[in-house]
Amino acid sequence: MSNEDLAVATAPTPPTVDNGWMSLQVVGKQCIASAVHEFELARAGGGSLPPAEPGAHITLLTPNGLTRRYSVCNRPGETAVYRIAVKREAQGLGGSRSLVDQVQMGDPVSV
């Protein structure tokens, strides 16, 4: 194996639909309670998302590289966005902190 092949083999794979991740865009963010933020995630170009059944969760890749599961808080039949509520845990491992502190409207996220 050449050095070029080795570099390609060890390069991290960016999140895409092809490798199990879907890129969404933050279209809404607001503080809804003490240390709790609601995020609205949608397809960047618009369009419907797969319906979220009651009790559904999504796995989200946080800015610091951790994956976290969040309950989808959609209204019945709503497919334009996924709504999640994130409690910022100051003493946690950093997933919720990085999401609340770093992700802003218009930013892409991988789910």
pLDDT tens for residues 19-69? 788 999 999 999 999 999 999 999 998 899 999 988 999 999 999 999 999
The phi-psi region of residue 96 (left if phi > 0; otherwise alpha if psi is between -120 and 50; otherwise beta) is alpha
Q: How far apart are CA 111 and CA 103, in angstroms?
A: 14
Q: Which two tokens stand for residue 42?
A: 């949608």
Of the candidates 43, 50, 13, the one whose C-alpha atom is nearest the C-alpha of residue 108 is 43
Q: How far apart are CA 104 and CA 27, in angstroms?
A: 9
Reported pTM:
0.81
Please say if the pLDDT value at position 4 is more than 60: no
Q: How far apart are CA 76 and CA 56, in angstroms?
A: 12
CB-count burial class (<10 Å; 0-12, 13-18, 19+) for 63? middle
